[in-house]
Structure 1
Amino acid sequence: MSFVDHMLKNLFSGFLDRRRANRHFKRQAVLETLRKMGDAEGQAVSGRVARDMRRIASDDVPAAIVRTRSHEEGLTHDEADQRRARFGPNEVEHEKPLPWWLHLWHCYRNPFNLLLTLLAGISFVTDDMKATVVISTMVVLSTLIRFVQEGRSSQAAERLKVMVSNTATVIRRQPDEERGAEASEKHVTARSHARRTATQIELPIRDLVPGDHVVLSAGDMIPADCCLLIAKDLFVSQAAMTGESLPVEKFAGIAQPFNSIFDAPNLVFMGTNVISGSATALVVATGSRTYFGALSARVTTTDRTPTAFQAGVNSVSWLLIRFALVMVPIVLLINGFTKGDWTEAFLFALSVAVGLTPEMLPMIVTSTLAKGAVVMSRKKVIVKRLDAIQNFGAMDVLCTDKTGTLTQDKIALERHTDVFGTNSEDVLRYAYLNSYYQTGLKNLLDHAVLEHAELQGELRVAQDYRKVDEIPFDFVRRRMSVVVAEREDNHELICKGAVEEVLSVCHRIRIETAQGPRQVPIDRELLERVRSVTRELNGEGLRVVAVAMKELSASQAAYSIADEAALTLIGYIAFLDPPKESTAPALRALAEHGVRVKVLTGDSELVAAHVCGRVGLERDHFLLGSQVEKMSDEALSHAVETCQLFARLTPQDKERIVRALRGNGHVVGFMGDGINDAPALRAADIGISVDSGVDIAKEAADIILLEKSLMVLEEGVVEGRKTFSNMLKYLRMTASSNFGNVFSVLVGSAFLPFLPMLPLQLLVQNLLYDISQIAIPFDGVDRELVAKPLKWNPADIGRFMIFFGPISSIFDITTFAVMWHVFGANTVANQTLFQSGWFVVGLLTQTLVVHMIRTPKLPFIESRAAWPLTLMTLVIMAIGVTLPMSPLADYFKLQALPPGYLPWLIAILLGYATLTTAMKTIYIRKFGWQ
């Protein structure tokens, strides 16, 4: 088992064990992490679904049953089977992995491999079998390494998608013959026998069909888009779809006029879950016909936009190919006319074409990215697509949601104040009693009160009280009350709820004075002062809940909404989803590395602005989704540069913002975990999700985090830049040395009576040189090179090639002169000696150049290569020096070089290293060093 396999196996075995140990949590995980879906009616994503659901919402229960061709007691098994055959399974669309043969083809079909295949074919036709074998070896190595590495990564990502099979309670109606047999077996009465019966069974959610009746209770996922037939105290969390932190109450019956389909009280949707209460619901739509599935289908069928990485590699590839297409014909013509042997000239030009082609680029890129993926796996990050590692490094803008990324995704009690905003323990005590004693819906706000740290250590007031009655919460009054007794002769009604709704039943406010608390009537001036305090708290991003109370005699035993009158406002409790401790340091680290963070959220602008302020992000200038929708693409492209916060966004708004940023030339990352994030994940250069995200978000993402942390992203950015720098080393080295070699070939071909190097020798030199570069992925990178975003720049590659290429030609021509004049290799009979001398110099200078250009610093002194690269360099240089004197020398038409050649070789290499280092200083001063 390879190191990569070992790392991924260990990582995923632990991950899957943890998932199996939390089966119940996973039942909720997908839905709880769907963030701020927003109502997208009228949008292309789900307009048809919205229209269908609006029609069903306007029906009463019998009409809804008729519309879905169901029955008041549900479907029979046969009816369900027929519908399943028609509608298909109740599951959203997923991307399917490519078959192995198609994946192999994708790994092969890059421009270099296609060109090399053409050259191998020409070599085969011309009976140059040695060249055919060498070129084919290059193609096979490049393709297989990419195929194997990407296959391992894909298999690892697939394991993340393993989900526990969820079930739903379904009511099945029995046909007459089954009902008769069951009645006979159970000896039921004749009356029972004559009556149709229905049974409840547990079925996998994927087996549900339109017309099914499902039974819902607290904690259940809504398995499809449904219309309620019966509902009792049913509260549903729609945070996945709308971003509302509080659940909404749902009722059976005809819906009153509503704006959003999520406001329809008789509809519930796949992707939400039951908080409390119970219901029986009629399945209206399943699978891709649901609101959830409509957006999912759009995401999975949308082709990906080429990433910055893919576009960059393609542009550099075609730059080098165009260069080869110009230079190779020139080499052919010069050698054909000067030597007179057009066949030999053609084979030599063919070898030059191979030498100009960086055929190992796909392999070097894949190996570098795979190594980066292994490093990231140690940091609890799974790379689905290897290209994404480099995009981490190129990323200069990160768009992220607020909840769970910047914040802890857990509402906390932030303030408890009197009516004028001063801290008050009495308010906290009353709020605690209200939350503790209510038996209805305990929402996130109640849990925040009960879990408050101060309560754990100081307040045990519940032991001193007994509950008398409660007035349950509803979403019309938007408040709830409990009645408690501390003394037998006195009752206290404690009410909490939305500020305006509580104020509407308050006649007095309690003011703290030096003499103690005093109750005063509410007048216009006091009311305005009270509202200014709540506005100030809202401005801090806090959700404000008012607390009021009144004392009553103990003569009353039952209380109703009518008793919520003439209350005294005593203060407020305010809540916040607090930022993570790691958020601010991570944002600073990202900023230091040149990555701007933009917050894209469906939440309120006030809450988002407050959180941004606490973690150090600019919050004064923001855009709302309603403003984004009205903007033209041109106006939006300007706005996205100046704004750092975008609030109340729909999924389409997020996608437009990401595309606008990319259109401005940024490399954009997007981090999200909900279905509403999927379009933006697809549109970004790098999509980032988490293992607790929904399936469709994980499918749209390129990278999956096992830990939702911006600090992990910062580490990924650095690793991506190291990966980019190592790939850039190969490209620069290959481009510059190839250009120098071709220039040297042109000079030698014009003046020598023989070829400066035989085609086979040129191919072997190129293969050895490529092998020496396999260690590049394991090389270290200077800290300065990962400080800023690194982007593909084909123009920079071309400039670098022209600037440094001729340097090697200077020493190649020096070698020509030495071999011609010093060693007398100036005739056709002595061409083997000449070719052997240049073979060694050419290979050693090509191998050495990576140490010159791997760093802007002084090589070997200020910055040294990692030991694998150093070792590989020494091995290939040793092979190059000894090959002409080895038993294989005759096979490659080489010969041993005289001892006097060694001082010249050392002098040429030292001169080459010195001049390259000096020219590098000039280049950095003029163009910089990316």
Structure 2
Amino acid sequence: MNARLLKHLFAGFLRTRRIARHFQRLALLDTLTQTGVSRVVPEALTKTLVAAATTDTEALLKQLDGQVDGLSEAQAADVRKRVGPNEVEHEKPLTWRQHLWLAYRNPFNLLLTLLAVISYLTEDIEATVVIGAMVALSTLLRFWQETKANKAAEALKAMVSTTATVIRRDGSEEDTAPPAYPHYTTRPQGKSAHREEVPIRLLVPGDVIVLSAGDMIPADCRVLSAKDLFVAQAAMTGESMPVEKFSIQRNAKAVNPLELDNILFMGTNVVSGSATAVVVAIGNHTYFGSLARRVTVVDRAPTAFQTGVNQVSWLLIRFMLVMAPLVLFINGFTKGDWIAALLFALSIAVGLTPEMLPMIVTSTLAKGAVMMSRRKVIVKRLDAIQNFGAMDVLCTDKTGTLTQDKIFLARHVDVWGEESDDVLEMAYLNSYYQTGLKNLLDVAVLEHIEVHQELNPARNYRKVDEIPFDFTRRRMSVVVSEREDHHELISKGAVEEILAVCTQVRHGEVIEPLTPELLARIRRVTADLNEDGLRVVAVAARELPPRKETYGVADEHELTLIGYVAFLDPPKESTEPALRALSEHGVAVKVLTGDNELVAAKICHEVGLGKDGVLLGGDIERMSDRELAVAAESHNIFARLTPAHKERIVRLLKANGHVVGFVGDGINDAPALRAADIGISVDTAVDIAKEAADIILLEKSLMVLKEGVLEGRRTFANMLKYIKMTASSNFGNVFSVLVASAFLPFLPMLPIHLLVQNLLYDISQIAIPFDNVDEDLLKKPLRWLPGSIGRFMVFFGPISSVFDLTTFAIMWFVFSANAPEVQTLFQSGWFIVGLLTQTLIVHMIRTPKIPFIQSRAAMPLLVMTAMIMVVGIFLPTGPLAEHFKLQALPPLYFVFLPLILLGYMGLTQAMKGVYLRRYAWQ
């Protein structure tokens, strides 16, 4: 048998390629960049993008049948009918015939088919029927389970949608087409147009979209207007730093699409700034789509689970490649019938290969994903479930995870902490006029309707410009004009970053220079607010002459500090019990936040998260990787972090041997989400965070996360059960066969007996995905330890051989089944013992406890194994015995049978105690 082919088979079983590929856009882009494929795109596409970059806006919109205020819904629907959805062509869904063929086409089934053909040619109809049944069972079960898994994955994927903000022109009276997405809310945007959140797949060429920080670029677009727009396109071009985009093409001679200043590419994302853009190309006609068609197979690197199962598979393969030839030569030389010996050796090879592994893995993962979805946890990559169960460190942000994510404005004070309406008005104008990513702080400010009524921004103010937020400056500014006699630059952001650009402070009507003494006093005031659990945002301003209409970061200097707005985000009631539950289940929680260390420490104290130490971003900057790796173990609160700090901490925790999960929902979390073993986001996260995550929470709660972790462990534990059972029982059976083959004058069991045993045993395993898992096994993270499988196999496999040899002795000496003419009696006696012990091993090895008493299997598994044991006894004693070359056994045999089974169970239980004392069960 071709070992390389077998290895490929096992790897293929576990990739779940058709399910995962929908979520591999980022991995595909990374691979394209690394392999250099991105340098090869169709010439027609290059010309299209260059033409779109160099054509003036009015002409381009005319070519696309679009308008500055967007398409109407009827127009968009017409275009969509003509060009199709905005989707990159993935692997086409298989027809049911193709899927059925692939479910059949594996070396195990091909070997069984060969055996069936040989049996048919030798007129062994019974063997032909049994082997055919094995092939049909394996094929149909895998086909059925994979079909269910695919449907479940599609249904789960539909629960997590990525949208784009589109400007829709209000339709005329004739425009009565119903909206294609009535479940998405709309927001007024002037008299003739409004904004809508629409699924990305519904975009069409000519659509005008609005972009802000955190958005994924949903198609190839031409920028119409931009303000400090920086786009991360490292996966497309390899550039490590974000690239600034403009509304004009500065280099008219550029011919490389990646060098165009005003073209945005599908799959990249906005780091900071804002823009409007018109969709030029969608789906397969985008730059990304053209590359995707050239790279047909892109898989993530194998996970620890995939690698582990491959290692176990190779262990069984090597064992088979040694044992099957040994059985062939021993029986060929001792019995002289080489054809029978060959069939018997092939049956041994089949018995050693876990042909139900694909079905068990697929059904267990699919069931786990469905169960997790009921707990509001959506699995994007099925093989991520193992990492979820193995996670021992969870890194999380503070806001929305530990806290209620319902921030309200608690105080608005001047520089000395006294209530001030002026500060609230300045903060309101800043939040009202910014067009970037409005966070919860902005929402809390804008809830003060009385300020809006008093200021009446639409009548009294005009927006001149804005300087969007980014994670380096940690502030954002707007410039407004009041009465057109001056411009007012209003900036709000993190206290230290605002202070860095201030030279004066205002208290009442008094403005004075920012001296070291005043700075120290300001820091005491903000520290007091932080210690009360308030998140403090500083507000500063500067009056400017109305000389220009465009402003940038360089204008943020010589500001006057006005005061602070302080927000309260109370901790969730569920956070403290969730943290306690995670700790009890072996998951350490570390808080990684960009917030102030005093606020973070206060919240962590309130939710019962012990303060092992606080590490600041500034300290991290000065640490080497070795120093930070040590510090990451001894600290559990990390504050004032940048996105790079978060990614670095996660990476070093992984290097320390932890399986790290990261919870994040912002653009600043995307690097850490990719770096973590298990990236976890929420359905309300920014697009780039959802794309980078493996798991999506429908509710941002640690309690939901804890339930997901436990379900992940249950899923993984059930897969381990099958692998352990198969490895140990197969090892014991083959060891018994080798001993019997060397000393018996006939075959200890016919090929059909082995095949029937294997068929019945496989049927009993179908219910394993639905089995219960002991609570004790869920207390700690479940790691994949391939070496322990081999140890487990060698430790428990020979136990069954002890009782097989006991059965041989009883059949030989008690029942005189010691000659070729009475071999059927001998084979029938061992058939029953072999099948019953092999089926009982399911219950003995599924738990370290006493089976049936301390730990009971789920009802489907109890019923299935009981049925198989009944069938195993019925076959030699019933009317079908002759067809299977078996015979009825004397009554005395059934006196010995329960003693053998009880002895087997007792010895196995005793050995479990020895094993537990020397090794861990999992």
CA shift for structure 1 position 148: 2.8
- TM-score computed with the length of structure 2 as normaliser: 0.69
Q: Name the residue aligned to 1:150.
A: 146
- Say yes or no: does 1:802 pair with 2:794: yes
Contact 1:356 1:738 in 2 (8 A): yes
Q: Name the residue aligned to 1:752.
A: 744
Q: Name the residue aligned to 2:312.
A: 316
Contact 1:141 1:363 in 2 (8 A): no
- Say yes or no: does 1:711 pair with 2:707: no
Letter in 2 for 1:827: A
- Say yes or no: does 1:528 pair with 2:515: no
Change (3 A) 1:251 1:729: closer
Q: Name the residue aligned to 1:572.
A: 564
Q: Name the residue aligned to 1:368.
A: 364
Letter in 1 for 2:94: P
Q: Name the residue aligned to 1:544.
A: 537
Change (3 A) 1:582 1:166: same
CA shift for structure 1 position 225: 7.2
Q: Name the residue aligned to 1:395.
A: 391
The CA deviation string for residues 364-384 of structure 1, in whole angstroms up to 9 with x for no partner, is: 233333332332232233444
Letter in 2 for 1:353: A
Match of 2:614 among 609, 620, 623: 620
Match of 2:777 among 777, 785, 798: 785
Contact 1:111 1:317 in 2 (8 A): no
| Structure 2 Cα separation of the partners of residues 386 and 817 of structure 1 | 48
Note the 1:914-929 alignment, pairs <5 A: 914-929=906-921
- Say yes or no: does 1:902 pair with 2:894: yes
Match of 2:581 among 564, 589, 595: 589
Q: Name the residue aligned to 2:241.
A: none
Q: Name the residue aligned to 2:257.
A: none
CA shift for structure 1 position 463: 8.3
Note the 1:609-648 alignment, pairs <5 A: 613=604, 616=609, 620-621=614-615, 645=638, 647-648=641-642
Change (3 A) 1:819 1:667: same
Q: Name the residue aligned to 1:881.
A: 873
Contact 1:321 1:357 in 2 (8 A): yes
Change (3 A) 1:107 1:584: farther
The CA deviation string for residues 159-178 of structure 1, in whole angstroms up to 9 with x for no partner, is: 5457779755699xxxxxxx
CA shift for structure 1 position 886: 0.7
RMSD of aligned C-alpha atoms? 6.2
- Say yes or no: does 1:359 pair with 2:355: yes
The CA deviation string for residues 141-174 of structure 1, in whole angstroms up to 9 with x for no partner, is: 3343333333333334335457779755699xxx
| Structure 2 Cα separation of the partners of residues 415 and 318 of structure 1 | 65
| Structure 1 Cα separation of the partners of residues 592 and 98 of structure 2 | 37
Contact 2:502 2:514 in 1 (8 A): no
Letter in 2 for 1:76: Q
CA shift for structure 1 position 889: 0.7
Q: Name the residue aligned to 1:99.
A: 94
Change (3 A) 1:754 1:98: same
CA shift for structure 1 position 786: 0.9
Which of structures 1 and 2 has the bigger CA Rg? 1
CA shift for structure 1 position 909: 1.3
* SS of match in other structure, 1:573: strand
The CA deviation string for residues 240-268 of structure 1, in whole angstroms up to 9 with x for no partner, is: 999xxxxxx9997899xxxxxxxx99999
Note the 1:412-427 alignment, pairs <5 A: 412-413=408-409, 415-420=411-416, 422=417, 424=418, 426-427=419-420
CA shift for structure 1 position 819: 1.7
Note the 1:110-121 alignment, pairs <5 A: 112=108, 116=112
Change (3 A) 1:347 1:383: same
Change (3 A) 1:666 1:785: same
Contact 1:507 1:522 in 2 (8 A): yes
- Say yes or no: does 1:67 pair with 2:63: no
Q: Which sections of structure 1, spanning at least 5 residues, go unmatched?
A: 1-33, 36-41, 50-62, 172-198, 243-248, 256-263, 485-492, 511-516, 551-559
Note the 1:831-850 alignment, pairs <5 A: 831-850=823-842
Contact 1:413 1:449 in 2 (8 A): no
Comparing 699-708 and 300-309, the one that deviates more: 699-708
Letter in 2 for 1:345: A
Paired residue total: 808
Letter in 2 for 1:714: K
Letter in 1 for 2:537: V
The CA deviation string for residues 820-865 of structure 1, in whole angstroms up to 9 with x for no partner, is: 2222222222222222111111111111222222221222222222
Contact 1:45 1:294 in 2 (8 A): no
Letter in 2 for 1:545: A
CA shift for structure 1 position 910: 1.4
CA shift for structure 1 position 766: 2.0
Comparing 321-330 and 299-308, the one that deviates more: 299-308
CA shift for structure 1 position 625: 13
CA shift for structure 1 position 326: 1.5
| Structure 2 Cα separation of the partners of residues 383 and 638 of structure 1 | 32
Contact 2:478 2:491 in 1 (8 A): yes
Contact 2:434 2:466 in 1 (8 A): no
Contact 2:502 2:561 in 1 (8 A): no
Q: Name the residue aligned to 2:713.
A: 721
- TM-score computed with the length of structure 1 as normaliser: 0.69
Contact 2:478 2:490 in 1 (8 A): yes
Change (3 A) 1:798 1:520: closer
| Structure 1 Cα separation of the partners of residues 460 and 87 of structure 2 | 46
Comparing 915-924 and 661-670, the one that deviates more: 661-670
* SS of match in other structure, 1:572: strand
| Structure 2 Cα separation of the partners of residues 120 and 659 of structure 1 | 53
The CA deviation string for residues 682-713 of structure 1, in whole angstroms up to 9 with x for no partner, is: 77655545444577766665544333433323
Comparing 885-894 and 465-474, the one that deviates more: 465-474
Contact 1:836 1:897 in 2 (8 A): yes
Q: Name the residue aligned to 1:817.
A: 809
Q: Which sections of structure 2, spanning at least 5 residues, go unmatched?
A: 1-24, 27-32, 41-49, 68-74, 171-191, 235-243, 251-259, 468-475, 544-548, 550-555
Match of 2:134 among 128, 135, 138: 138
Contact 2:166 2:208 in 1 (8 A): no
| Structure 2 Cα separation of the partners of residues 280 and 335 of structure 1 | 78
| Structure 2 Cα separation of the partners of residues 355 and 548 of structure 1 | 78
Note the 1:661-680 alignment, pairs <5 A: 666-669=658-661, 671=663
- Say yes or no: does 1:733 pair with 2:729: no
CA shift for structure 1 position 788: 1.1
CA shift for structure 1 position 430: 3.8
* SS of match in other structure, 2:767: helix
Q: Name the residue aligned to 1:872.
A: 864
Contact 1:120 1:131 in 2 (8 A): yes
CA shift for structure 1 position 868: 2.1
Q: Name the residue aligned to 1:347.
A: 343
Change (3 A) 1:906 1:298: same
* SS of match in other structure, 2:781: coil
CA shift for structure 1 position 891: 0.7
| Structure 1 Cα separation of the partners of residues 696 and 334 of structure 2 | 60
Change (3 A) 1:377 1:151: same
| Structure 2 Cα separation of the partners of residues 412 and 155 of structure 1 | 42
Contact 1:436 1:450 in 2 (8 A): no
Letter in 2 for 1:544: V
